[in-house]
Structure 1
Amino acid sequence: MLGCASAELDVLVDAGLPFEERAGVRHFDPNDLYNLGMYSGRTTTQPELAFRMLFRFTRRPVEELLRRKSWSFRLRLECPECAGPAPWHVAEPDVARFGGGLADVTAPAAGAGRAAYAATVTTTGARTPLVSPALRALVADYLGAGHRWQMLPVAMQADFRLVHALGATSCVAASLLLADRFRGAGFEAEARRGWFCGVLGGALDLPHACVEVLDEDGVLKSIDIAKAQLAARLSADTEEFRELCLGSIHNKAIPSTASANAPLARHACGSRVPVEVRSDIRAVR
């Protein structure tokens, strides 16, 4: 992942890179390695190469992100320590509010262990930039604060105050913090969990969230703050995409019915271990 020799890895360990030793073998947290590679400045680590490839679309004209697009949407659900047959509860795609739609829905039946959810999801884009000066000022303040986007454990992202106190951020933590600040300024706002699709053939499975806020013009706006941050880090010529992320809707985002700090699925069997959710979202050609 880092493309470095053992001697360089020793230097990183001496400098504080955490690891656990098991039977004489060093085991590193994948989030730590990803973050280290992402900000190494070498340009050749796997995280840096993947980042440039995944976000290359942000440098293109945004009209492609505004048209209607259909997705083959699949979720695989697993209850790791299942206590027996019970109903499944899934946070479904919630796209109708932004002009999209659901079709061919197959919801999971009550059962044990594993289940699946499937649907055809249609998304569309719309230019609805933020109009409230107060909202735009809060967004600008956040973007100017210099928080560093990082891969973080899912449970940690919900503690958005701790994450930002450490100088870090993620799409979930950033959305929760912005929603909190918007409400503090008197606006109706909620951070929503969802999916970012159309990359790596559906294989990218990362937590994602946006902020939904009722602007002073009475229109519900979606703010994909993390994507704006990451696009700015990629290149200065991503300004059109970054502006689209600040209030407008694009067809690569699928919001769910879950808030940003809530699970995407539950199994009512009584197990205390969270359900594991894996997504596979592919464009319908």
Structure 2
Amino acid sequence: MAHQAISQDTLWEKVAKSIEFIPAEYSSRVQPESVAREMLRCESVEIDRLVDAGLPFEERSGVRHFDANDLYNLGMYSNKGNTQPELAFRMLFRFAGRPVDALLREKSWDFKVQLECVDCAGVAPWHFEAPDVARYGGRAEVATTPQPSSGSAEYAATITTTGARTPIVSPVLRQLTQDYLDAGYRWQMIPVPMQADYQLVHSLGATSCIAASLFLAERFRSAGYRAEAKRGWFCGVLGGALDLPHACVEVEDDDGAVRTVDIAKSQLAARLSADTADFQELCLGSVYNKVIPSTASGNASFGHHECGSQTPAQVRADIRSAR
């Protein structure tokens, strides 16, 4: 048993060295040690070891608190097989190893967004970057839109998405995309504000959905193509319970058609499973029914409240497969 404990400690030390912890200016250390132990399926002695290896924390009332992204990344790269992040992402990407035809059919979603203005200064209009599915063959049946109010508002709709095989035509765009995939950036969970600082993210050797899309869009523009990173929502994530940021690149291809490059999902699928080659290729130009694009650009918020509060509005999506 003593040998097993030493082996496990050594494992966590290596994992801690293999990831980039969230810098202090972007970190939110609010998860107590009990949550850390549960997420990572480990004991207090192993948390001690992680702290010794550099895991940042803040101590309040005698309890250590950690950033949720740091905990997710430790779990994802632990190779333990039983941490919450590993189990969640394995479940999330089960679809990526199946025939991709199912991703090209029409699919309807019950789509709800709650907008919250925490330090609200009074009744005012809301601005919400709504789903933008019609351009890709989808449709939206809107039930509720945000009305002028204080504190909170809601958007609700039934969103129907579909997919289409439209692989990248341009050899230049395909090569730039492959160069990015070959560069060795490591996918990590990163706070949205830090993702917008995509130069910092990549300088750390890391990548993420929004950061990757902003970075690649810049590369495409430098090669003479019209390209923009756009935000949206990735659907069907643990029954709507996990609100993952999503972004892709929209680029005008050599034939004049606008194609989407979902670079981070291609990376993540490759990291999670060896049998996802067809899905990875689908991410390079095609559209699929598990993504709802929005009108928001890659580093913009999904919404804000015009009350004058200096605190950004919180936007929380709940997206479930429609019955």
Asked if these proteins are the same fold (TM beyond 0.5), I'd say yes
1:166 aligns with: 204
> Which secondary structure does the structure 2 equivalent of 1:89 belong to?
strand
Cα deviation 1:202-249 (Å, max 9, x = unaligned)? 222121111110100111101111110011011221000000000000
> Which secondary structure does the structure 1 equivalent of 2:276 belong to?
helix
1:41 aligns with: 79
> Which secondary structure does the structure 1 equivalent of 2:122 belong to?
coil
Mapping of 1:226-245 within 5 angstroms? Answer: 226-245=264-283
1:218 aligns to 2:247 (yes or no): no
1:62 aligns with: 100
1:177 aligns to 2:215 (yes or no): yes
Mapping of 1:99-114 within 5 angstroms? Answer: 99-114=137-152
Mapping of 1:56-95 within 5 angstroms? Answer: 56-95=94-133
RMSD: 0.8
What is the distance in 1 between the residues matched to 2:41 and 2:242? 22
1:258 aligns with: 296
1:188 to 215, 218, 226: 226
What letter matches 2:132 in structure 1?
D
Contact 1:203 1:279 in 2 (8 A): no
What letter matches 2:89 in structure 1?
F
What letter matches 1:110 in structure 2?
P
* Paired residue total: 285
Higher relative contact order (CA 8 A, sep 6+): 1
Contact 1:52 1:234 in 2 (8 A): yes
Cα deviation 1:82-138 (Å, max 9, x = unaligned)? 000000010000011111111134211101001100111111100000010000000
What letter matches 2:284 in structure 1?
L
What is the distance in 1 between the residues matched to 2:55 and 2:145? 43
1:97 aligns with: 135
What is the distance in 2 between the residues matched to 1:205 and 1:118? 16
1:23 aligns with: 61
What is the distance in 1 between the residues matched to 2:126 and 2:313? 10
**Offset of 1:5 from its aligned partner?**
1.2
2:237 aligns with: 199
Contact 1:101 1:122 in 2 (8 A): yes
1:52 to 72, 77, 90: 90
- Name the % identity: 70
Cα deviation 1:52-96 (Å, max 9, x = unaligned)? 111011000000000011111110010010000000010000011
2:179 aligns with: 141
> Which secondary structure does the structure 2 equivalent of 1:237 belong to?
coil
1:6 to 44, 47, 66: 44
> Which secondary structure does the structure 1 equivalent of 2:218 belong to?
helix
1:115 aligns with: 153
What letter matches 1:119 in structure 2?
A
What is the distance in 1 between the residues matched to 2:290 and 2:214? 20
**Offset of 1:12 from its aligned partner?**
1.0
Contact 1:175 1:211 in 2 (8 A): yes
What letter matches 2:249 in structure 1?
V
What is the distance in 1 between the residues matched to 2:236 and 2:40? 26
Contact 2:88 2:238 in 1 (8 A): no
What letter matches 1:192 in structure 2?
K
Contact 2:217 2:227 in 1 (8 A): yes
> Which secondary structure does the structure 2 equivalent of 1:198 belong to?
coil
What is the distance in 2 between the residues matched to 1:104 and 1:207? 22
Cα deviation 1:166-198 (Å, max 9, x = unaligned)? 011110000000001000000011100110002
What letter matches 2:227 in structure 1?
A
> Which secondary structure does the structure 2 equivalent of 1:103 belong to?
strand
What is the distance in 1 between the residues matched to 2:266 and 2:299? 21
